[in-house]
Amino acid sequence: MKTISKIRRTAIIATILLLVLAMLSAGCGVKQNGNAENKPGNDAGSGNVIIDPGKLTGDDGKIIYGDGVIGEASASEDGTFGFDSVAGWPKGGVKAERAEAMPALVDGEWGGIEPIIPGPGGEIPGDYNGQIRAGTLTAGEIKDAKDFENWRSLWNDAEWDGLRKARGLYADNVISVSTLPMQYVRLFDGETLVFTAVSDIFGAATLVFPDSLKGKELTVQSIDATRTVTCTPGTSVSFTETMKFAPAQPQMLDLMLMIDTTGSMGDELEYLKVEIKDVIERVQKEQKISVRLSVNFYRDEGDEYVVKYYDFRDDIDDCVKILGEQSANGGGDWPEAVHTALGNVLQHSWRENAVKLCFFVLDAPPHDESEIQGINEGMLKDLNAIAGNGIRIIPVVSSGADLSVEALMRSWAVMTGGTYLFLTNHSGIGGDHQTPTDTEYEIEPLNDCMVRVVKDYMFAPATTQDDAQ
């Protein structure tokens, strides 16, 4: 009996110690972003609180980052991973049709760039590696948040509507809101939180709602004020009718890159690395702001890794080095682990009050519901949480994509307050690129486009600030 009693006392003491340690960790070791009010960065009722553990250092004084790998696989006997041996795919994962001739060059300012056909492992043949320069890839942008009437009209097309139903999308059910800059905006059905967004530096925010709420009276809440609206796509709500304010001037930028590195990206990855390096270096030169970068890479189930992630760093050179070490491999079937990569976006130390941008570089869709049960529902839940934390998804759609990728990525951009970028055939690099459903957009070098988009979210034009004051 004495022995049993002693064991029980020891177990109780151990339990108490563990509880104390857990409380200390929660109170001191973890810093939650935001608060229960209108401070961007917390979970905003989404059920996902993003934390900022700060910088940890090891015994050697070096910073310890929250890096890791999801779904690490072992190499087979022949040294390949995952789906490399699938019929129609040479080792290295590049689709056989990628070796066909590239599109004809477009006459004009983009002329003079010779099409480059990558090898079976995605490598650039000959000594082209030393000749790749920033500004080679070309891109366009579609700002659906600036023209919701056109955005909603797209979904009247039978093919778009079919894609909508297949993925359970409802990004065309939009409510545009005008409020103060960088504030939480919430949509409630009674006491139930439906959707949360964070307004941009100009005070613009987008709320979305599922079809089941069409025609219902819901409540929009911002800066401790509320408005009652009938849920109709295209509704506008303003909290600033009598207010005059200047755009916000944020001092921090958290910039994330989530890049598909499967074999089908081999025709453009080396170019993308050069373009993104240029973007990183140019953004860093904005000395008035604090810039942190997170570079991340994903493939598919059964590959060398599903997601390889690197937490935010102040050391931009380290990020550029990590980016340069990546290569295209694996994949196999067309859909990739896009959904897993999307979920990983939430698992990083985003800073409160920072402008939060995630460039999502890809050429293929996630797997569908028939392959992995609940995948579409899971993505919508993650998108809700991403929007609620003020993280803006900015897709960069590469060659090989189709309408299903376009519709999904444009929906992600609308739901999170982002914008849609896509590569074009004008550079003569890579396979054929999906032509967006819209016809009005400008073509520009990808690096310039990405830098401009960052500045659009960070800096208000001087004339706009003067007018507001």
DSSP per residue over 200-240, as a string?
-TTSEEEEE--GGGTT-EEEEEETTEEEEEE--TTEEEES-
CB atoms within 10 A of CB 459: 18
Q: What pLDDT does residue 462 have?
A: 62
**In sequence order, which residues have a C-beta less than 8 Å from that of residue 375 and are 6 or more positions away?**
339, 366, 367, 368, 369
Number of structural domains the chain divides into: 2
180 shares a domain with 277: no
Is 94 within a domain?
A: no
- The answer, yes or no, to whether residue 424 has pLDDT greater than 50, is yes
CA atoms within 13 A of residue 287's CA, in its CB half-sphere: 0
Q: Which of these three, 246, 279, 299, is where a domain ends?
A: 246
What does the block give as tokens for 204?
């613009």
Question: Is there a contact between 239 and 222 (Cβ–Cβ < 8 Å)?
Answer: yes
Q: Please give the Cα distance from 49 to 42 (Å, whole number).
A: 6
- Among 29-43, 120-134, 268-282, the minimum mean pLDDT is found in 29-43
Q: What is the residue whose two structure tokens read 């309408």?
A: 403
- Among 15-19, 136-140, 155-159, 318-322, the minimum mean pLDDT is found in 15-19
231 shares a domain with 263: no
Q: Which of these three, 212, 246, 280, is where a domain ends?
A: 246
Is 47 within a domain?
A: no
Residue 406: strand, helix, or coil: helix
* Better pLDDT: 70 or 117: 70
Among left, alpha and beta (phi > 0; psi -120 to 50; other), residue 444 is: beta
Q: What is the residue whose two structure tokens read 């070796």?
A: 99
Mean pLDDT confidence for 392-419: 95
Is 183 within a domain?
A: yes
Is 229 within a domain?
A: yes
**In sequence order, which residues have a C-beta less than 8 Å from that of residue 438 and are 6 or more positions away?**
142, 150
Question: In Å, how far from its chain's centre is CA 367?
Answer: 17
Q: Please give the Cα distance from 172 to 152 (Å, whole number).
A: 5
Query: What pLDDT, in 10s, does the model give residues 227-278?
Result: 999 999 999 999 998 788 899 999 999 999 999 999 888 888 889 899 999 9
Phi, psi at residue 292, to the nearest 5°? -125, 150
Question: Is there a contact between 260 and 281 (Cβ–Cβ < 8 Å)?
Answer: no
Q: Where residue 56 falls among pLDDT bands split at 50, 70, 90?
A: low
Q: Which of these three, 202, 226, 246, is where a domain ends?
A: 246
CB atoms within 10 A of CB 409: 24
Q: Please give the Cα distance from 336 to 329 (Å, whole number).
A: 12
Is 443 within a domain?
A: yes
What does the block give as tokens for 383?
């998108």
Is 430 within a domain?
A: yes
* Better pLDDT: 65 or 308: 308
Is the sign of the CA dihedral 194, 198, 199, 204 positive or negative? negative
Is 377 within a domain?
A: yes
Among left, alpha and beta (phi > 0; psi -120 to 50; other), residue 218 is: beta
340 shares a domain with 282: yes
Query: What pLDDT, in 10s, does the model give residues 195-237?
Result: 999 999 999 999 999 999 999 999 999 998 999 999 999 999 9
Q: Please give the Cα distance from 41 to 384 (Å, whole number).
A: 14
262 shares a domain with 227: no
240 shares a domain with 191: yes
407 shares a domain with 441: yes
Q: What pLDDT does residue 384 have?
A: 97
368 shares a domain with 348: yes
Q: What pLDDT does residue 100 have?
A: 28
Query: What pLDDT, in 10s, does the model give residues 355-380?
Result: 999 999 998 899 876 556 689 999 99
Mean pLDDT confidence for 92-107: 28
DSSP class per residue in 341-371: HHHHGGGS-PPTTSEEEEEEEESSPBP-TTT
Is 292 within a domain?
A: yes
Q: What percent of the chain has pLDDT over 90?
A: 51
- Among 133-137, 295-299, 303-307, 333-337, the minimum mean pLDDT is found in 333-337
Question: Is there a contact between 185 and 198 (Cβ–Cβ < 8 Å)?
Answer: yes
CB atoms within 10 A of CB 117: 15
**What is the CATH number for 300?**
3.40.50.410
What does the block give as tokens for 335?
């859909």
**In sequence order, which residues have a C-beta less than 8 Å from that of residue 232 and are 6 or more positions away?**
214, 215
Partners of 255 in beta bridges = 293, 357
Question: Is there a contact between 216 and 175 (Cβ–Cβ < 8 Å)?
Answer: no
- Which amino acid is present at 368? D
179 shares a domain with 208: yes
Question: Is there a contact between 299 and 306 (Cβ–Cβ < 8 Å)?
Answer: yes
**What is the CATH number for 192?**
2.60.40.10
* Better pLDDT: 30 or 116: 116
204 shares a domain with 298: no
Question: Is there a contact between 292 and 351 (Cβ–Cβ < 8 Å)?
Answer: yes
Please provide the average confidence, as pLDDT, over all residues in the chain. 77
136 shares a domain with 191: no
431 shares a domain with 318: yes
Range of 236's domain? 172-246
Q: Please give the Cα distance from 395 to 365 (Å, whole number).
A: 12
Question: Is there a contact between 412 and 383 (Cβ–Cβ < 8 Å)?
Answer: yes
Q: What pLDDT does residue 335 have?
A: 85
Do strands 290-298 and 444-445 pair parallel, antiparallel, or not at all (unpaired)? unpaired
Which run of H or of E encompasses 194? strand 192-198
188 shares a domain with 136: no
